[in-house]
Amino acid sequence: MIEGQFPAFEKVIALTGDKVVALERERLATAIRRVSLLSSERSRAVRLSLGPGKLDLPASSPDLGEARESLTAEYQGATVEIGFNSQYLLDFLGVAGSESVSLELKDQESQGMFRPSGEGATDYRYVVMPMRL
């Protein structure tokens, strides 16, 4: 046993968002890879803009330009826009082990929770803190 204070991870995981969407894992990973090519090398930031019926993934770099991908999503809630490090998202999508994943968001300043979903899904949770854009 390690002595010391472990971070209060229960508080982060217990917070649930009211914006939940299921996405096809491989399509999401491919879209993130494409737009991240034009994100800033320093931050690797990719914006996720979740709105009714779609998920937009814009990224931009002052030197290289802009990129935007759109995925259809079964979502009818309020629009939320949040930024994440693209490499963190690709790390999760590479090991999720299921055909689809679910994304749970609360607002642009709270963490995003990713989970494998569908057939063969495990109870694996991946918490990603947002980036300010």
Angle between helices 86-95 and 25-36 (to 10 degrees): 150
DSSP 24-52: EHHHHHHHHHHHHTTS-TTT-EEEEEEET
**Residue 14: predicted pLDDT:** 63
Tokens read off for 59: 């990224």
Determine if the pTM surpasses 0.75: yes
The tens digit of pLDDT for each residue in 39-97 reads: 877 778 899 999 999 999 988 877 788 889 999 999 988 999 999 999 999 999 999 98
**Residue 80: predicted pLDDT:** 93
The tens digit of pLDDT for each residue in 85-130 reads: 999 999 999 999 889 999 999 888 888 999 998 776 677 889 899 9
**Residue 51: predicted pLDDT:** 93
The one-letter code for the residue type at 108 is Q
Torsion angle, alpha carbons of 25, 58, 38, 28, to 10: 0
**Residue 57: predicted pLDDT:** 94
Q: Where are the alpha helices (DSSP H) in the chain?
A: 9-14, 25-36, 86-95
**Residue 15: predicted pLDDT:** 63
